[in-house]
Amino acid sequence: MRVTPEDIFKKEFKKSMRGYDVDEVNEFLDQIIQSYEEVLEENKELKQQLNSPNQHSKRLKRVHPEENQDQILQEIMRRLEHLEQRMQIKSYPDR
């Protein structure tokens, strides 16, 4: 179960004769809540940043699919030429 800042805030502890200082515990819990909220916010921002380049890339591919196809075809041609050269070398090892 994921603990939220609200869960920390609402957590009640039993009181006993020789227990902890209630004010000290509450102050510490307030610090934890604040830190936890900051971490959650930072995590949210990082997730957005992580998704942002992916979304941008997807948009570019949709906007200019022909450019993407051209790049793919060029890469295929380059690889075919390279393969052809390798095959020629294997066919004629003396050259």
Please say if the pLDDT value at position 95 is more than 60: no
pLDDT of amino acid 43: 92
pLDDT of amino acid 33: 92
List CB contacts of 29: < 8 A, sequence separation 6 or more: 8, 9, 11
28-86 per-position pLDDT tens digit: 999 999 999 999 999 998 888 877 776 666 666 665 666 677 788 888 888 888 888 77
Compute the C-alpha angle 24/27/30, nearest 5°. Answer: 150
pLDDT of amino acid 16: 81
